């Protein structure tokens, strides 16, 4: 099967469109929620059931099946039954990727019952788009292909997620969250829901202090502060943060730190290269909108900070540092690292960066 062309931004946009439709009561008879990112699948399937049926109706007309415990024939029979004490029923098939005879559901989806809403949750991978099952659902219902975000995509989604809750988040707090929680959207949303409930009444902006108090990430010893110390060439502060990381290796994995530093210096290199290129060609430096697309950031503030930082670094030195980061990336994975612990490797790397 060909690799999907769907991007995370497409998933997020389609999720919002379907969520709005469902919330307004405009429900399709068929839903195929498929892909690797479970957060969107779980959230939408729960919303469909909640909007399609009242709390009292769910006791009689909501049926949840699990793929590993049933087969397509049983699912089809349930979908063709008449609802009890209501106008419609909802049948949710979870773990549909394990359903025996999955393709046979096409016998139902080609001619669905008007009194049934069928929700197929097909996790871990996407259904083959060439199959009759996929084609019939796409033609008569709704499909969500849920892909996981890349590292650089999570911050933008997270800021929008928080904005939808009526709050905003400052840059440092956002960096702390993404470094600590990675790209696990379900985990991030869970932590944020708890955080938002704990905020003092009237708070509209999440800061690093809120993150430290409620999620347990240090506002002084994190990758955001380490990058700031390194790019401002503050060796003392960088080593102080490295010592904290060495004492807390589980909360501060070396690989994540190296990836964060690499991203920072890669952006510096790109900005400096474009400056050199514009001087060489006698052309204008690219506008901010183009630069934000290149650096994959939606924040003018972040871009301005990168440009200011880049002006303090010579690209020959930056190129050397990128080579060091690649070398220590390999060491963090156990290649040619000997018996050195992660804390020692990080300290060694910082000294090589700042004391060439």
* pLDDT averaged per 10 residues, the chain (length 356): 76 95 96 95 96 92 94 95 90 96 95 96 93 96 94 86 89 85 84 86 89 85 93 95 92 92 96 94 92 84 90 95 95 81 94 91
- DSSP H helices in the chain: 8-23, 38-52, 55-61, 72-80, 106-109, 132-140, 151-164, 171-181, 185-198, 208-215, 223-231, 235-247, 254-281, 288-295, 300-310, 315-332, 342-354
- For residue 3, the model assigns a pLDDT of 58
Q: What is residue 1's predicted lDDT score, i.e. its pLDDT?
A: 46
d(CA 187, CA 64): 24
Rounded to an integer, what distance in angstroms lies between the CA atom of residue 298 and that of residue 9?
13
Could you tell me the domains of the chain? 8-146 (3.40.50.300), 151-215 (1.10.8.60), 223-354 (1.20.272.10)
The CA-based diameter of the chain, rounded to the nearest angstrom, is: 77
CB 257 within 8 A of CB 245: yes
pTM of this prediction? 0.75
DSSP state of 141: S
């Amino acid at each position: 099967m060909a690799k999907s062309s769907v991007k995370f931004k497409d998933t997020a946009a389609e999720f919002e469109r379907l969520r709005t439709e469902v919330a307004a009561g405009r429900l399709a008879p068929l839903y195929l929620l498929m892909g690797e990112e479970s957060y969107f699948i779980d959230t939408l399937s729960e919303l469909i059931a909640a909007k399609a049926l009242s709390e009292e109706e769910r006791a009689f007309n909501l049926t949840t099946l699990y793929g590993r415990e049933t087969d397509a024939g049983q699912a089809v029979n349930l979908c063709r039954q008449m609802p009890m004490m209501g106008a419609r029923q909802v049948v949710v098939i979870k773990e549909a990727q394990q359903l025996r005879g999955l393709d046979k559901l096409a016998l139902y989806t080609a001619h669905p019952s008007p009194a049934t809403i069928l929700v197929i949750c097909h996790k871990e991978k996407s259904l083959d788009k060439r199959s009759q099952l996929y084609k019939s659902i796409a033609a008569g219902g709704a499909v969500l292909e849920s892909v996981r975000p890349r590292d650089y995509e999570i911050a933008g989604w997270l800021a929008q997620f928080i904005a939808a809750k009526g709050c905003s988040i400052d840059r440092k707090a956002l960096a702390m969250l993404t470094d600590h929680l990675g790209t696990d959207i379900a985990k991030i949303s869970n932590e944020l829901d708890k955080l938002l409930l704990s905020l003092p009444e009237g708070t509209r902006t999440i800061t690093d202090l809120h993150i430290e108090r409620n999620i347990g990430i240090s506002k002084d010893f994190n990758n955001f502060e380490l990058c700031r110390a390194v790019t401002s060439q503050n060796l003392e502060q960088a080593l102080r943060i490295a010592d904290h990381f060495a004492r807390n290796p589980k909360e501060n994995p070396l690989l994540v730190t190296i990836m964060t530093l690499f991203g920072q210096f890669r952006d510096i290199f790109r900005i400096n290269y474009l400056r050199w290129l514009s001087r060489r060609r006698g052309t204008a430096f690219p506008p901010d909108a183009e630069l934000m697309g290149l650096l994959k950031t939606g924040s003018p503030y972040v871009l301005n900070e990168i440009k200011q930082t880049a002006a303090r670094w010579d690209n020959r030195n930056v190129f050397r540092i990128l080579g060091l980061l690649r070398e220590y990336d390999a060491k963090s994975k156990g290649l040619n690292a000997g018996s050195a612990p992660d804390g020692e490797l990080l300290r060694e790397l910082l000294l090589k960066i700042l004391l060439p």
